[in-house]
Amino acid sequence: MLNLSHKKLDVYYISLYLLKEIYKTTTSFPKEERYVLISQLRRAAISVCSNIAEGAARISRKEKKRFYEIARSSVVEIDTQFEIATVLDYYKKGQMKEMEQYMESTFRILCKLIQNL
C-alpha cells in the first residue's frame, strides 16, 4: 500500500472502524434488506472513507472541502439509515455504542477539517 496523505488523518482510520462496525451490525438485519437498507448503509460507509481519501489527495482547498463535505453528508446518511433501522426494529439505539461513537467522531472531525480550510 502507498503512503498517501489520507493515511495521516485520524478521521480516515476512525471512518474505517465505522465501516467495519456497520458491516458487522448489518449482518443481523433481515435478509430481505440485503439489497436495500444493508446495501445503502454499506455504500454510505464506503463513501465516507473514499471521500476522505480523495479529499486529502486534492491540492486546492475548494476541492478538499467538497470531498470532505460529501464524506460528512454520508455520515448524516448513515445516521438517518440507522434511524430507519430503529423504526423498523432492526436496531436499537445504544445497541452499538462503539459504532455510534465512531460516527459522532467522524462527523465532528470532518466539521473541523471543513471549517479550517
CA 65, 83, 18, 40 torsion-angle sign: negative
Distance, CA of 84 to CA of 78 (rounded, Å): 10
The grid cell for 32 is 430481505
Cell of 100: 455510534
Taking only the tens of pLDDT, the chain with its 117 residues reads 677 899 999 999 999 999 999 999 999 999 999 999 999 999 999 999 999 999 999 999 999 999 999 999 999 999 999 999 999 999 887 777 889 999 999 999 999 999 998
Q: Which fold has domain 5-115?
A: de novo design (two linked rop proteins) (1.20.1440)
Beta strands in 6-56 (DSSP E): none
Query: Which sign does the torsion angle of CA 34, 80, 109, 56 carry?
Result: positive
Grid cell listed for 25: 451490525
**Rounded to an integer, what distance in angstroms lies between the CA atom of residue 56 and that of residue 108?**
17
pLDDT of 90 reads: 93
The structural domains of the chain, with segments of one domain joined by +, span: 5-115
